[in-house]
Amino acid sequence: MKTVPFAFDLNEPDFIPSEYDNHIQRRLSAMRGQYLDKEAYEARLAQGDDLLYEVYELRRPTVPGELLHGISIVHPGKVGDEYHMTKGHFHEVLETGEIYHCLKGKGFMVMETPEGEWAVEPLYPGRVLCVLPRWAHRSVNASLAEDLVTFFVYPGDAGHDYGTIEAQGFRKLVVEKNGQPEIVDNPRWSPPEAA
């Protein structure tokens, strides 16, 4: 980790940072239980454990005041009707937000609060998205041809809570219908008081 101000390049066409501390690769097997169509998931996994998305992190100390940042790349594809997506999470320190800047591709950020409020925002090159504190977030690549590439930055002490989302998924799913992305209800989801 650097102790003096630093800069790096996001080289086109892939936007892989010229420097990074950590490279996370999430494969299909890491997404068990996240896609609604379990049969389609198992059938695809039987064909191979494909790489679905990658994160290049510039690490910083996990303390307030630091800014963690990096690049998230969701590769194109579907499991059943659902587009490739990140696991999604709440921040462990719920009152921390995040900024995303879309650099390439076409997709959506699916968001929700612990109280069940939801929002889905389109992502396209040049678009900047502010995920407010308390909002869980998942990026979805709605192109079947191109990577979805975003730059993100969030507080050093935010941490990640994946378990809450793993339990029943997000309230909304992004699926392909007649060749177009559509936002639909997740039948596995139930309101917080009934959960």
How would you class 107 by CB atoms within 10 Å of its CB: exposed for 0-12, middle for 13-18, buried for 19 or more? Answer: buried
Min dist. Cβ of residue 87 to ligand PAN (A) = 4
Select from 85-93, 114-122, 141-149, 174-182 the region that touches ligand PAN (CB under 6 A): 85-93
- Strands (E) located in 107-170: 107-112, 118-123, 128-131, 136-141, 148-155, 160-161
Q: Which of 28, 76, 84, 88 binds ligand PAN (CB under 6 A)?
A: 88
CA 171 → CA 42, 114, 141, 188, distances in Å? 23, 11, 17, 8
Q: Which of residues 115-144 bind ligand PAN (CB under 6 A)?
A: 137, 139
Q: Decide: is 55 part of the binding site for ligand PAN (CB under 6 A).
A: yes
Q: Decide: is 96 part of the binding site for ligand PAN (CB under 6 A).
A: no
Q: Decide: is 72 part of the binding site for ligand PAN (CB under 6 A).
A: yes
Kindly list the residues in this chain that would bind ligand PAN in the complex (CB under 6 A).
26, 55, 72, 86-89, 98, 137, 139, 152, 154, 158, 160
